[in-house]
Structure 1
């Protein structure tokens, strides 16, 4: 959600930033809605002030035994009561119109985000790791995966397209990957492990930006709840409607959950294999932090995801997304793309974004800076009695990692000519020392 005051103060800059995302100008429409809303507020205040004054005069007229004047004044007071009721209704409608318009507008790209319309304009930051060399032609995971327990047929029978039933070695490897990711993030990078709900209410999806614009991308239950597309939704909203203290920030949260996406815009893409599923598991990282820490936290979070890939011995690259390729709530995004030898190209395995105060405004998540950080900081807020004024937190989220895609990466990078798969050393303790997944004969 955007700050209407900032738009009002600099509409040209707002529209210029939207244009970088390929969006149409919105400032004129928003300012007009805001002016209408503020005009109603003024009318309310004037009517209420007039009503108060007339009520006082009624008392004075009655005290002076001037019943005719008292009756006339009381009639005017009654008329103002009706006027105020109508103004209150109009005010509510004007507030909702502005809120609805603001809610549909994406976050603005940070100044250092490159120009561009789509993934072809993303910028390479660095490449890490060495692509494996094979003495044979490496295959894609869906070609040799069924012998290891990737049961696409049963998945399709049970749930339809984009569902997979994991058995035996594939299921064990999948579990090992999720546990390894959680252990790394909690044990080595200071994340607090959580088990959040995977069914959430409308306002929770609104808080992180999935609603109202992207309802078709998610699944809804018969009782009106939503299946989370990522635990970013639950973890980030855990601070909604709260006032945090600056001393407790940053909060770093992680969870391994099932995730559900309709893939409404992915018709015909990745229809084979385990890359793009309706149901998948992901380890999510979420940070709640202060504005002055958020840029460094973005680098830290991305490095945490990279550490997992490095420990798994996978080759990957970091891409800085261009303005036109970022998600709705992001102001800057790094994608990590892992090398898949079967496909002979890099594929996204993690997306790490900083959202500034965009989600915090939708959730009304604020903090009170510590006195030291407040001194001379210029924050605007509601300070009183010497307390530092309130400010919106900054939120960040990232995949650490998508478990299914990591499974694909391990299978393809560690595949052997006989159809077996070597197990990366860091995963072997989770598989009771097993160092090779054997294909069923």
Structure 2
């Protein structure tokens, strides 16, 4: 299959600029960017007049459920959903079964992805109360970072021993990324809700149980530990306006502590629980419209550095259970970039800022080797977006294994016209090329 392309007449969006230009792909790399490039023998030519050409999205926060939970998701299905959504690389979380708490389990996931992933991939090492030696021994080039669940109920991956937590922040050889919610506060509020509602806790109570106070208390703890030890810290899925003052606005360069939010926190609010119920139950919880607007402004000003998904599929029958049994998490990757671009249509984010948050920033933050930018010599991970072709989400087009999307019935203003991974067109606007396989992400450390 060809990895040599000439994309003509596109509007390139890269490093804060827009320009109309041509881009040549040769042997999986960006060979040239310029005006009036002429086709060479063997190249396939795409007339991209009217289309945006962006670096592929790098989603640094996904749960693909493999191994151990493949009845609801797996690397093969979810990476194809990524491709259809313009995501060319993903970084997957360690809370699988078994969890990725040592180098052997980490490498087993890499081996599986090499066989089945349609996009590029990397996997985090997880932290627990008893794997400090594995953390100390981690090769910094083997994983994007170390995931610490500070208050997430994920079995033995909840790090709640103060001495261990302090040691992890002191000795981590890679960036630490954190899920910040305070479990004791959540448990107390959950008990009160059960006293009031019994087993029939309504979905609207979820953001009150997984409260803003629980988020900010845990986030403050993570930041205090990072400052104490000089740790490179990245705080995931900010969901409240209250946490924003803890982070600095402006460019990513030079920041020791960075923040991330997710597309569903820019799209939904607590008003949507009435219609969608547990379909939008996630941790941390979707909160108010005021939180949504404050978070969107924080993305615009660079106070929040990265925009990701926290893609976490569950089956519809699981989501139909009562509150205590209905799992938290949403399938998001296939329509995440479109959801982000919708904020551009609304005038709340610029196109350049979206590209920075979904592509440049994760590449820079995690030292990803030669990806995340439209630069000559870099890997040709590309997405063509049609800004003039609206797209209404239908259940039958969902590629995630769970088979549904919280965006069903919503019309986005943009469509994903094509996605290229290492120069190979994996998505042509209609279907995934099943022959394409991604590569293991490399880290310049």
TM-score bucket (shorter structure): under 0.3
Flag the structure with higher helix content: 1
Larger RCO (alpha carbons 8 Å, 6+ apart): 2
> Between Structure 1 and Structure 2, whose CA radius of gyration is higher?
1
TM superposition score normalised by structure 1: 0.22
TM-score (norm 2): 0.22
